[in-house]
Structure 1
């Protein structure tokens, strides 16, 4: 039976709002090394007295985590600091690079100097909003869509989920015109309208999308031709030499291309950008977009050169 630490028991008894404030204090000390009373007051819109009480509560729970610098009127983290809360790396990086709720819209500022790639393609908010409403409420959408294959057409779709493939966002949806599940790119949509009175048929529901519901486990290993495999093991935290990743079949090809994984059966892709190799390319068998994966060869001979037709 797992034993709960007394500190954790104390944190669990606190109201959710107070835990959020204490987590923010923990974050500031852990990742920025200092904390001011105004950091809490401005972030949560509380008065100075309330911020002082929150800091006092934190000091009561973890007195060894911070020391007051009276000259600068700032609390600093100690060499013995141990975080009270779990901080997910992706959320930490987002907060450090884009702010942590201070400010609105374009006023958000990074917490530390940082650089990240500019998004070349983002969905218009006027298109994103009705699509997200339809997903949340289980509704169909009527829109004008321009595809590489069919040009500009009127469609009715039943959105299932939003997907980020690194270079763009798209929505996974049932296409009533094609009678199947497809990927629709946001920037190719025009005037989406939620259809309030259009019932969703059984075959249009998320449980019927086999590619979406099929989960593939990929075993990624250092590329056999990489000059420093020990560096790859460090980069991807692979203590046993294998990185196991689960992806949906509907997204597998996109993800493997985004990650630059050599998916050739004979690890024939060359270049330092291919740090990892898919140990068993047959794991992708049956994934509709597998041919998007670098070096992938369809084991069905008649399909080897068959291109993936873009939506």
Structure 2
């Protein structure tokens, strides 16, 4: 990664990074891969391969039997950052489009996409951008609010909890900052003066350091692999989380499940600073 890239144009550098990624992850690359991925001509693909060979001559060799350039044992990345999650995500997104049997199959678990009205979102974004308030027609899940109703809010940010988008906003009716699920905002209208800004939202601007450690009920070997899995140092990892998002963090990592004692495998990582975490969580949920 320390080699000079020679001031290459962005498009060229992207194709060289692709060549390198294919060499590292798939073991080889040829002109057809470049043509199919970037819609370049065969001569351009050949030029890109020659350019890469000139930049990193020790990284590849031509295998005449496979008719592909393959990675050498001395391969060292020059144009892309090694990221296992990014590779698997890319494989899952391109699966079904590729017929080469050498490619690895990967699947990303499909989850229902929450439909957000583009026009409603556009108006809420405008309110955020202009530091204004706006009325939203919001469908609450509270039994006391079975029908949607209009309320004025001062939105300042958006947050994704791993499943859906939320609008973080000051509610003029309840006189406090709340999270509104974006897909349940059925209408938006009437920009007006802002009541509170992002800097006023202490739960949003403040962060809490969640300290995770392996579940002590696991075996030593199991705890070690959990520590490696979560990138822990000395048996723990600290994750700064916006206080407003602690509830979703707790749910997403399944830190709230009740069978942690009977089935520690269900909660391989637990909160080390538990008392402080629960106090911060309770404060965020008021």
2:175 counterpart (176, 179, 199): 179
Taking a change above 3 Å as real, the CA distance of residues 159 and 137 of structure 1, as seen in their structure-2 partners, is same
Deviates more, 1:170-179 or 1:120-129: 120-129
The answer as to 2:14 corresponding to 1:20 is yes
1:143-182 superposed matches below 5 A: 143-149=136-142, 150-151=145-146, 152-182=148-178
Segments of structure 1 that go 5 or more residues without pairing to the other structure are 101-106, 292-297, 299-307
For the 8 Å contact 2:117–2:186, the answer to whether it is kept is no
The answer as to 2:59 corresponding to 1:65 is yes
Taking a change above 3 Å as real, the CA distance of residues 269 and 253 of structure 1, as seen in their structure-2 partners, is farther
CA distance in structure 2 between the aligned counterparts of 1:218 and 1:276, rounded to whole angstroms: 12
The answer as to 2:54 corresponding to 1:37 is no
What SS does the corresponding residue of 2:23 show, helix, strand or coil? helix
The answer as to 2:93 corresponding to 1:98 is yes
1:69-148 superposed matches below 5 A: 69-84=63-78, 85-99=80-94, 112-124=104-116, 126=118, 129-130=121-122, 133-134=125-126, 137-138=129-130, 140-148=133-141
Deviation at 1:108, TM superposition (A): 6.5
For the 8 Å contact 1:67–1:75, the answer to whether it is kept is yes
Aligned CA RMSD, in angstroms, stands at: 3.3
For the 8 Å contact 1:263–1:278, the answer to whether it is kept is no
Deviation at 1:238, TM superposition (A): 2.2
CA distance in structure 1 between the aligned counterparts of 2:117 and 2:71, rounded to whole angstroms: 40
Deviation at 1:183, TM superposition (A): 1.0
Q: TM-score, normalised by structure 2?
A: 0.80
CA distance in structure 2 between the aligned counterparts of 1:94 and 1:127, rounded to whole angstroms: 30
What SS does the corresponding residue of 2:58 show, helix, strand or coil? helix
CA distance in structure 2 between the aligned counterparts of 1:108 and 1:205, rounded to whole angstroms: 46
1:212-291 superposed matches below 5 A: 212-227=204-219, 228-261=222-255, 269-271=261-263, 272-284=265-277, 287=280, 290-291=281-282
For the 8 Å contact 1:97–1:109, the answer to whether it is kept is no
Taking a change above 3 Å as real, the CA distance of residues 28 and 158 of structure 1, as seen in their structure-2 partners, is farther
Q: How many residues align?
A: 275
Deviation at 1:131, TM superposition (A): 6.2
CA distance in structure 1 between the aligned counterparts of 2:88 and 2:120, rounded to whole angstroms: 24
Deviation at 1:28, TM superposition (A): 1.6
Taking a change above 3 Å as real, the CA distance of residues 94 and 155 of structure 1, as seen in their structure-2 partners, is farther
